[in-house]
A and B are shown apart, each in its own frame.
Chain A
Amino acid sequence: MIIDVRDLRMAYGAVDVLHGVDFVAERGEVVALLGPNGAGKTTTIEILEGFRTPSAGHVRVLGEDPEKGDEAWRAKLGVVLQSWRDHGRWRVRELLDHLGSYYAPYGTPSRPRPFDTDELLETVGLTEHALKKVGKLSGGQRRRLDVAIGIVGKPELLFLDEPTAGFDPHARRDFHDLVHRLADLEGMTILLTTHDLAEAEKLSDRILVLAGGRIIADGSPDLLSRQVEGKAEVRWTQDGTRHVHATEDATAFVRDLLGRHATGVSELEVRRSSLEDTYMALVQRFESKQAHPEREQEVVTL
């Protein structure tokens, strides 16, 4: 088990941010952590990275308590945070090469470390900017450099906090390819947070939905859609009029519809609930269940 979290709790003063988070991640899994703003995603990730001390709970990352993790443990992690503006005067290649060198003593014959600097620049598409100053990069280029630095030590576990914020669609596609390659070829376990549901669906083997300081859903994107008995939407045109009908059992409805009207039904469409619908339904269901009225004010932004 790469990550093992049981009954993780975190309070800032009197405010409880996490109340009893449980989840595990296995080797090579890509896990997406989804949730409304303020749900505790970043807090959870920071505890796993060893940057924050939890109030209570059992946390093991690569078999160790992150708080007591030593430098050899640290060498097996890759961290990409949300906002980084460091090393503005360094050149791209120079910085990546320098930071990669810290991992050299941790290499083994079966897993040489770090990645070759030039190959990695090629991988993240920064070869032509290798000699540029870091401070002169555009937002998307800077982010790609952050990702490159996060993986330069060939980590066994990679944390990505909102990795594609500020990417254009092309860069986003490239980044998705990269994540798949890392998980498949290098056997990297990846935990990422994102606001982009399509991205979570495309990238992850498993989605965790964090709301109100708890994991309220845990499963593959497909499984999640099923968990909320997806209301499907059936649309069709009959004698020039457009009809829409929401139903739990689309198959039965369509069979009945076509049975009743031998002709005249055209442009038939069945839309299963998307992951976004599922997610909204989950969070709303959770929030309405909460007895505390103040929690219902929490805004869901996507």
Chain B
Amino acid sequence: MNTTTNAVRLGLRRGLREYRHALTSYDQFFNLFTSVGFLVVLLFQRSSSLAGTSLSLAAATLPSMIGMMVAFGGLVGPAGQLSVNREDGTLLRAKAVPHGMLGYLVGRITQTSLDTVTALLIILVPGAFLVEGLSGAGVGGWLLLVLTIVVGLLATLPWGAVAGSLAKSPQGAMGYTMLPIMPVVAISGIFYPITALPGWVQGIAQLFPVYWMGLGTRSALLPDSAVTAELYGSWRHWETFGVLGLWAVVGFVVAPGILRRMARRESGSDMEHRRQAAMQRGV
């Protein structure tokens, strides 16, 4: 049996197990909570319409939310898990086992992907009943949605791993990811069309993956007529996958080195120091 294939196989199994553990844990309250929150937003937006179209604002917000959730899941999820796993010793355990790090990483990617898809379904399924105008998306639309989700995860996952590696504590990891992502979401046309914002703010928003994720998911699920509400009146598929692809490529160039450096430095006494620090924080 090849040792590398064995570790990848174990990593997949590990990801599935941890996903199952999370499904039956209190984590789901958080999912339920955000889901209800988002559905309330959709409910309020049902009566307003998307400028220049006959669609409701909610119909545009639902796909945008999905795009945002993917960026969120890819960035915040791994950052938090990685820093928690450094503190509790999971990472060191992986280091002590032959090819354990490979298994750990495959497991994390598997779990993050499944977590993200779950969070999407929790919004998408009830949302589809609430919002009209999404039924028009054909097979091509759904394929484009899946492609956007995959590329979006690739564009954000490595950066989540970088944040989790650089942070000194789980709280720090939350800070590194939540603090930047909140303002970015606010200006990325997720809950309100980006066209309503000043030009320079639009420029900043287009540097980050969140806007392009939202654009990609809207182009997949909304009827073609909704394109008039977008910047330049176009779905800009080339630009979407160009920017997301650039984030992914740079991420996968940068992340392995930082991950390796973090993993190499991991040792029992460091973990003990972090444990002491965590106890002083009262966690």
Cα A87 to Cα B103 with chains together (Å) = 14
Assess the A71–B92 pair: CB atoms within 8 A. Answer: no
Cα A94 to Cα B100 with chains together (Å) = 16
Which B residues are CB-close (under 8 A) to A84?
Answer: 88-89, 92-93
8 Å CB interface, B8-67 against A: 10, 13-14, 17-18, 21-22, 25
Given contacts A46-B269, A51-B268, contact A86 B98 (CB under 8 A): no
Assess the B98–A46 pair: CB atoms within 8 A. Answer: no
8 Å CB interface, B173-228 against A: none
Least CB distance, B260 to chain A, in whole angstroms: 14
Stretch from A98-106, A225-233, A248-256 at the B interface: A98-106
Instruction: Assess whether A286 is interfacial by the CB under 8 Å rule.
Output: no
Instruction: Assess whether B110 is interfacial by the CB under 8 Å rule.
Output: no
Stretch from A72-80, A174-182, A197-205, A215-223 at the B interface: A72-80
Which A residues are CB-close (under 8 A) to B98?
Answer: 71-72, 74-75, 102-103, 106, 153
Instruction: Assess whether A85 is interfacial by the CB under 8 Å rule.
Output: yes
Which interface residue of B17, B88, B96, B267 has the most chain A CB atoms within 10 A?
A: B96
Q: Which residue of B is nearest A72, CB measured?
A: B98
Q: Which residue of A is nearest B268, CB measured?
A: A81
Instruction: Assess whether A83 is interfacial by the CB under 8 Å rule.
Output: yes
Which A residues are CB-close (under 8 A) to B2?
Answer: 105
Which B residues are CB-close (under 8 A) to A284?
Answer: none
8 Å CB interface, B252-283 against A: 266-269, 271-272, 275
Cα A98 to Cα B93 with chains together (Å) = 12
Which A residues are CB-close (under 8 A) to B96?
Answer: 49, 74, 77, 79
Cα A74 to Cα B93 with chains together (Å) = 12
Assess the B10–A102 pair: CB atoms within 8 A. Answer: yes
8 Å CB interface, A53-107 against B: 71-72, 74-75, 77, 79, 81-90, 94, 98-99, 101-106
Assess the B267–A46 pair: CB atoms within 8 A. Answer: yes
Instruction: Assess whether A147 is interfacial by the CB under 8 Å rule.
Output: no
Which interface residue of B1, B25, B268 has the most chain A CB atoms within 10 A?
A: B268
What 0/1 readout, one digit per residue, does chain B (68-107) give for beta carbons within 8 Å of chain A?
0000000000000000010011101101111110010000
Which B residues are CB-close (under 8 A) to A101?
Answer: 6, 10
Q: Which residue of B is nearest A81, CB measured?
A: B268
Given contacts A81-B268, A86-B93, contact A94 B10 (CB under 8 A): no
Assess the B10–A82 pair: CB atoms within 8 A. Answer: no
A98 touches which one: B6, B10, B22, B90 (CB < 8 A)? B10
Assess the A104–B89 pair: CB atoms within 8 A. Answer: no
Cα A102 to Cα B18 with chains together (Å) = 17
Given contacts A51-B95, A88-B88, A89-B21, contact A105 B268 (CB under 8 A): no
Q: Which residue of B is nearest A150, CB measured?
A: B96
Instruction: Assess whether B161 is interfacial by the CB under 8 Å rule.
Output: no
Cα A180 to Cα B13 with chains together (Å) = 35
Instruction: Assess whether A52 is interfacial by the CB under 8 Å rule.
Output: yes
Least CB distance, A118 to chain B, in whole angstroms: 19
Cα A52 to Cα B2 with chains together (Å) = 28
Which B residues are CB-close (under 8 A) to A86?
Answer: 85, 88-90, 92-93
Q: Which residue of B is nearest A43, CB measured?
A: B269
Assess the B268–A104 pair: CB atoms within 8 A. Answer: no
Cα A46 to Cα B89 with chains together (Å) = 15
Cα A149 to Cα B14 with chains together (Å) = 16
Which A residues are CB-close (under 8 A) to B103?
Answer: 102
A90 touches which one: B17, B100, B266, B271 (CB < 8 A)? B17
Given contacts A51-B95, A149-B93, contact A104 B6 (CB under 8 A): yes
Assess the B89–A81 pair: CB atoms within 8 A. Answer: yes
Instruction: Assess whether A156 is interfacial by the CB under 8 Å rule.
Output: no
Please give the residue numbers on chain A whose beta carbons come within 8 Å of chain B beta carbons, in ascending order. Answer: 42-43, 46, 49, 51-52, 71-72, 74-75, 77, 79, 81-90, 94, 98-99, 101-106, 149, 153, 161
Chain A to chain B contacts (Cβ below 8 Å), 10 pairs: A42-B269, A51-B266, A77-B96, A81-B268, A83-B268, A83-B271, A84-B89, A99-B93, A104-B6, A105-B6
Which 5 pairs show the lowest CB-CB distances between chains A and B? A75-B98, A86-B90, A81-B268, A51-B267, A89-B21
